[in-house]
Chains A and B, each alone.
Chain A
Amino acid sequence: MAKQSFIERLDTLDRRIIFLIIGFVVLMPLLIPLGLPIETTQLTEDAFYALDDLPVNAKVLLSFEYGPSTKPEIHPMAVSVLRHLFSKGNKVIIMCLWPDGLFMANEALDLVARQEFNLEYGVDYVNLGYRPGNEAVIKGITKSFEANFSVDAKGTSITAIPIMHDIQTVKDVDFIFSFSAGYPGAIEWVLYAGDPLKVPVSSGNTSIQVNQLLPYVKSGQMKGVIAGMPGAAEYETLLIKKVENGEGQLNQQARMLLPDFKDNRDATKFMDAQSIAHLVIVLFIVIGNISYFVKRKKQRKY
């Protein structure tokens, strides 16, 4: 048997070596940040400005459809969107179509609404909690919130919550934003609430879902998408730029919180590792292809 060259031997490389290399290149930028620049894209800008253009006191429905498994991608978006809305004085109604979404929502609210903005529960925001039923819940709230959410996440009757007094159905909110990691998620919001009631919808999603959502963005059924961790980093960048430059509606509290916004940017912090890992994966694909073609050429020769 002819002796194999280094390039040919790569074809049969133990996959565990590849895992180790990927682990190493992900770990290193987390320990030693590189501070690579973040460039914003149209998709994220569309989502950002759709929310930014909402008037003061507009009511936004945020739906949490993700859990710990997709937290690194979506949670930074949730934190940034909450900061953005509270910076403008918007009212926030939260609900969850995933059981784990309740915990994610509570964690995000604890940081942004309680620790950073010190807002009043029930007046500035409310967490209605989780309801099983997937799209049936969405369809249900197009008729009545009270019929589906008789109590909020704390067990308080929905009729006793001031922010809900003038919200009978989802048509009474000005914008729907879904933090979605799968089914039920952003698509169901478009299908059962956004399109039938003509309420604008946007979404923050895991990367893997983006291809499925782009047709809805292209057709105007969705107002932009925050796509995975890079999208979250872009949103953080846009928000900080807005607060730094004092663009559009902004309350005094947001200006004071700017250092906190800058210090706590998880997605931006993680993007170095993401970028380097992508480079290495591209390199693997190129080397794998070279190895394949070299081997095929040699086999034909004999």
Chain B
Amino acid sequence: MTTFWDALHVVLSPEIAAVMFLAAVFGLFVGATPGLTATMATALLVPITFFMPPVAAIGAIVTCSAMAIFAGDIPAALLRIPGTPASAAYTDETFALNRKGRLDLALGTNMTASALGGIFGTIVLVFAAPQLADFALSFSSVEYFWLALLGLSCATLVSIGSPLKGIVSLCFGLLLSMIGLDVVMGFPRFTFGSMDLQGGVSLIAVLIGAFAVAELMRKATNLGRPLPVPPPIRGSILKGQARVLWQHRKGLARGSVLGTLIGALPGAGADIAAWISYAVAKRFSRTPEKFGTGHVEGVVEASASNNAALSGAYIPALVFGIPGDSITAIVIGVLLIKGLTPGPTVFTSSPDLIAAVYVVFFLANFLMVPLGIAAIHLGRRILMIRPGVLYPLILLFCVIGAFATNNAVFDVWVMLVIGVVVWIMEANGYAAAPMVLGLVLGRVVEETFVNSMIKSNGSLLIFFERPLSAVLGVVTLLVWAYPVVVLLCRNLRHASPDTSSRAS
């Protein structure tokens, strides 16, 4: 408990509180701007967090991403354009509420359910993470190898688009992670004689390229007319909220639980959580026919779900160092750069850091209500900002940010190449998230594999010797087998009508 109070003291120090406040404003702004995602907000923050102590850096990222996920609901309700992909699931619903003249109800529900979902996810994080970490202390390099591999496998399986393309994207990230001195002998791999590549590809440059530069280029392909100016909001946003939430308390609880679980799953993040929760809400509703006509039930459940997912993703990230989504992949990257390797030992070696993460999460979700109300009222103005001014500014920020982390022009080139490659990849159905996960986890997979092999004198049996490693190994192999089985079943089903028609 004393650690908790110490952490609260640290987080509420003027510097960190100021950093969190600014990150919140930044997150609300980016989230409320259609076309800018929460992941992009986080990627843009990274070069700045690079110069901060770890608690401030995590505080900035957590606050910014939580705010961005909520703020994505604002343009969704105002203009039927989701500000971030995580709001897409219920955009039609909140816009329908707007058409009914209940914009205050739509956005109020978005905000309060988001905050409650986020707080629920944080409570689970606070209780589950230390238990899991205790358990994980007995893990050896073998278990970590399987966990990292399992994380990568899940990431390709649940990634948007075809799993096959997810595998290609993952391999591309893994190859990127191998550039530089290798872990076994310190031999320079794929450096082609370049000194700049010896230390490896800069993660920050790749992140900004993949999540910001590629987005800018995609945005340019549909430079449309300026957005229409939405109407001002009438009525109090919090009025009647308690009643709505109490009425849909079951959905709120279900969305929070499901969101946390989906978030904790490697590779699945807030957007998938929102889609699934919205579908679940409809499935279990007594009035499913009202969905899509401006009915608040699904909005409660899915709004809670996507913010809960954000907290849930930190469970595997902090305990095992396996990111649950692209935002936590960025967080792990930032911690690694700061010389902190996320894992169970962090819970014993720096409990202050872990406690600070919890405090940051609670504060961020509490802050969401007052700052959210301000953002809802200013939302109209954010949407009136001209893209011709905003986007060039983001580009310059990307360039300077990529340069700043290592003071290297080379990193700017890396960002450029990755940005163009990811732009082409995403237009052709290759998701960027598996690539980033591959880049972050590639070294972990290789290091743990090599360490295990050295321990076993080259025998592969070590990977199945301990009961725990055997279980993890079998689960991983099942995840690999799953798409193959699905494909076979589908082919058989396709084949059977043919044979029956031939027989007749």
Q: Do A and B come from one complex?
A: no
